Amino acid sequence: MSSRSVIILILTMLTVILFSCKEEDKVKEANVSKPNIIYILTDDLGYGDVSSFNEYSKIQTPNIDRLANSGVAFTDAHTSSAVCTPTRYGILTGRYNWRTSLKQGVLSGYSKSLIKKETTTVAKFLKNNGYQTAFIGKWHMGWDWALQNTDSIDIDKLKARPEVDFTKPIKNGPNTHGFDYSFGFCGSLDMPPYVWVENGMPTMVPTHITKGKTKQGTWRTGLTSDDFNHEKALPEITERTVNYINTNANKDKPFFVYMPLPAPHTPILPTAEFQGKSKLDNPYGDFVLMVDWVVGEVSKALEKNGITENTLIVFTSDNGCSPSANYKQLLSKGHDPSYMFRGTKADIFEGGHRVPYIINWEGHIEAGTSEQLVCTTDFFATVADLLGVTYPETVAEDSYSHLSATNLKSNLPKRTSVVHHSVHGNFAYRKGDYKVIFAPGSGGWSFPNKNIKKEIYDSLPKVQLYNLKNDIAEEHNLEGNHSEIIKEYRTDLLKIINDGRSTVGKKLMNDPGVSWSQLEDLKQNQ
């Protein structure tokens, strides 16, 4: 080979290497501008169960605290409902659940999909913007099993036990709604059928019936597959998530993992290594510590793969802590899962829907605490804002970006009000310091509720008004002192309902065809 040929070959090789380096730099630059995103959603975790949010907590959560201390901890964050199904719908769609057929309560493990096929979820949005997407955990928004002979069965009832052909794939599940990979179960960990479904196909046909044996560790009697172990469900979800991170780290496409945990919801089943660890003589405290362990495992996987600074983590809960945790016993040990807030899961009071909420992106988001009002419907708008991508005004109609509450740049308007919703479909509206509850009592499971004597319940004020700045515990009802605030808030709430959106944009329609007694009550009590 001539010297001229050698020189040409060397120059060609250098050009290829230089081009490859530039392309690699472009990929790295693109990945930095599009961080991996992990959304960890706990189940029935109270605001007061995270030690960085509760200075009096008897449960220490070092891994969650680490996220809070190196990220932004939001102290005024709320779920869109005080129970699970509706909150999960709001997270993925950026839309209030009561705009759908689900006006109150939750779905069963046999319910059909609450999300319409044509709905743009945050998973679809991210997938369309270059992300690999995964759901791993508890779905609880319904999917379409291959049901048989259901004409006389209301499959949304928790006691429903319809026939299912488990040899056939499900329809309208996570993969339909934007997830490239999915692994999980349909309802709650205490709702049959107890069957893992991976990418739309049951992993095994259930052949036996199981039922939880203890009060806090119980689950409803139902079909269970041989590969489904209630006690090992949380470790299984954790292992699958860690494996997904290991497989997809540092690839050309960033990833989005939606990781809804089944804990510390019932059945409360800490594994042997966590039993007694909280020293509260209550498995709930041990289960919370196990949730903290899960966060630690995810964090370690990110560190191991060198992608901690290229991964944004959101951590929160789907509602307040459940009474199943045994509040009375925990309080005897000095621990209050609701912190200083009134009420529990299911309630319209703060304890039902105010939750710990953390955004962490090490190296990009400055650590701190934010009092910005946040709703779990806001995830959609926030990630879109982060990516600098717009979406149609018919999408995520109740989602506001809270990127401006971090040091990251945002020109979008902040949330200034929020609609709260209880298990029985009751409304509250929060704006500024005041919160108006358009219902007597808790609207949920706490006293006073519909289970007390009718004459006592009927004597309760039909409207409640609290100044949360001066009365965060909601002890002093001011409804007799500020009729003008109640009138203004009712008008605001009715407009948000009737406009089909709470963000700025053209008027939209709520889903048709379902009676709505709470809305009629709201109109009549003007």
Domain boundaries, the chain: 35-416, 421-524
pLDDT given at position 490: 96
pLDDT digits (tens, 9 = 90+) for 239-296: 999 999 999 999 999 999 999 999 999 999 999 999 999 999 999 999 999 999 999 9
List the CATH code of the domain at 421-524.
3.30.1120
pLDDT given at position 367: 96
Rounded CA-CA distance 155/152 in Å is: 9
pLDDT given at position 32: 52
pLDDT given at position 15: 52
Contact 467, 66 (CB under 8 A): no
DSSP string of 179-193?
-SEEEEESS-TTSS-
Rounded CA-CA distance 231/332 in Å is: 27
Copy the structure tokens of residue 297: 């495992």
pLDDT given at position 150: 78
Copy the structure tokens of residue 523: 């109109």
Interhelix angle 84-93/379-387, nearest 10 degrees: 20
The stretches in the chain having pLDDT less than 50 are: 6, 16-31
Q: What is the residue type of 210?
A: T
Token look-up 């109740």 returns 398
Rounded CA-CA distance 501/52 in Å is: 34
Which positions ≥6 away from 153 have C-beta within 8 Å?
A: 160, 162
pLDDT given at position 497: 95
For domain 35-416, the CATH class is alpha beta
DSSP string of 83-125?
SHHHHHHHHHHSS-GGGSS--SS---TTPPPSS-TT---HHHH
pLDDT given at position 224: 98
Token look-up 């991964």 returns 311
Contact 516, 526 (CB under 8 A): no
Token look-up 């299911």 returns 346
**Alpha helix stretches (DSSP H) within 155-215:** none
Contact 129, 34 (CB under 8 A): yes
